Amino acid sequence: MENAPQFLFVKTFRYLRRSGKLKLQFVSLDMEGRNEDLYTITHYPDRQIHCSRWTVSAGLVCLSTDCRIYLCNPAIRQLRELPDCSPSAIPGYEHFGFGYLHSKKEYKVVRFFYMGPPGTLPVDVVLAQLRCEVFTLNSGGILNSRWKEIAEQPPYHPVFPGVLVNECMYWLAKDEVVYYGQPRVMSFEFENEKFISISCPSAFVDFQGLDLMDLKGTVCLPDYANFLKSSILDLWILKDKVSCSWAKEYSINLEVRFDPEELGCFYSSWNEEIIFRQQLGVMMVVFFYDIKTKCFRQVEIHGRGPYHIYWKTLFSLDS
């Protein structure tokens, strides 16, 4: 099967007028703007899936709703629900991470949840109630896998889906569940099942436009707030997570190409290129910036909404 990188979009819309029924569609676009309808689902058990949080790793898609997590392989048209977590988990407050460990040839889903009695409100949740568990998927399939609760207490409340870098998961995080304050980063090592607390560079004072990405196998933190003020996007690289050492290694001048308000914070990376997205009506302009040559190239495609870098796999979710 072709293994070239593509953009993946997940679309939802009503497929029968006045019925209220939703269609879930996985669409890929190649780097030349050609699209392919990979997988369309018209009957699925969880109506929340149409507004789920989702991420992609090594050809599989992980979708998280308030109460459930699903894995999907659009290339071979499989969608499977993962087993439930603890019955004491408070619904609606899950955060997750998803990635593929090449060294072990297995996928990992990391789920955070809060323990408490039914009816617990967000303002009542405290760090002591936070738990973490890991689901491992290999060639045995989902039915032969189980969640494993991690003994160590997470140091912070996670924010947004995690990012896998060099087979270690990273999240933006905060001290309190209902208060953002000073951004934090925490990592999780799959090998020893340990968390590490990481301070952000002093330049980052809030979560505005903040996101983590993998840049050439290193953790990268783009300074979106500074970009809004100066049209310069600084990229901070994590040099040592134990000593919380960061370095500002790249500064990209985007003034001639982007209106900061239109760019938003849609950027990611592929190999040694930073990918920026700008929406212009029904057209999406995708810019690739080579950090070595400091040159731009661009592709215009029909599409809108969040995307992820994707490539096809024949990996089956069943045994």
Q: Is the pLDDT of residue 254 over 90?
A: no
**Burial, 13: exposed, middle or buried (Cβ in 10 Å; 0-12, 13-18, 19+)?**
exposed
Which amino acid, residue 190? F
Maximum average pLDDT range among 77-91, 182-196, 225-239, 258-272:
182-196
Backbone angles phi, psi at 127, to 5 degrees: -60, -30
Which amino acid, residue 21? K
Give the separation between CA 96 and CA 246, rounded to whole angstroms: 25
In this prediction, residues 290-299 reach a mean pLDDT of 85
The confidence score (pLDDT) of residue 1 equals 47
**CA-based torsion, 260, 265, 270, 274: positive or negative:** positive
Contact 75, 314 (CB under 8 A): yes
Residues listed for the chain: 319
SS3 219: strand
**Burial, 108: exposed, middle or buried (Cβ in 10 Å; 0-12, 13-18, 19+)?**
buried
Reported as half-sphere exposure (CB side, CA atoms, 13 A), residue 292 has a value of 5
In sequence order, what are the residues at sequence separation of 6 or more whose Cβ sits closer than 8 angstroms to the Cβ of residue 179? none
Complete DSSP assignment for 250-274: EEEE-TTT--HHHHTT-EEEETTEE
The confidence score (pLDDT) of residue 98 equals 93
Residue with tokens 């409340």, as numbered in its chain = 157
Q: Is the pLDDT of residue 91 over 70?
A: no
Backbone angles phi, psi at 128, to 5 degrees: -65, -20
pTM of structure = 0.86
Percent of the chain predicted with pLDDT > 90: 32
List pLDDT tens digits, range 11-43.
Answer: 766 555 555 567 788 888 877 767 888 988 877
Residue with tokens 């699209």, as numbered in its chain = 35
Backbone angles phi, psi at 163, to 5 degrees: -125, 130
**Three-state DSSP string of 161-189:** EEEEECCEEEEEEECECCECCCCEEEEEE
List pLDDT tens digits, range 127-184.
Answer: 668 889 999 999 989 988 889 999 998 998 888 788 999 999 999 998 876 666 789 9
Which has the higher per-residue pLDDT, 15 or 272? 272
93, 58, 85, 86: which is closest to 72 by C-alpha? 58
List pLDDT tens digits, range 51-83.
Answer: 568 889 999 999 887 778 899 999 999 999 998
Give the separation between CA 265 and CA 211, rounded to whole angstroms: 8
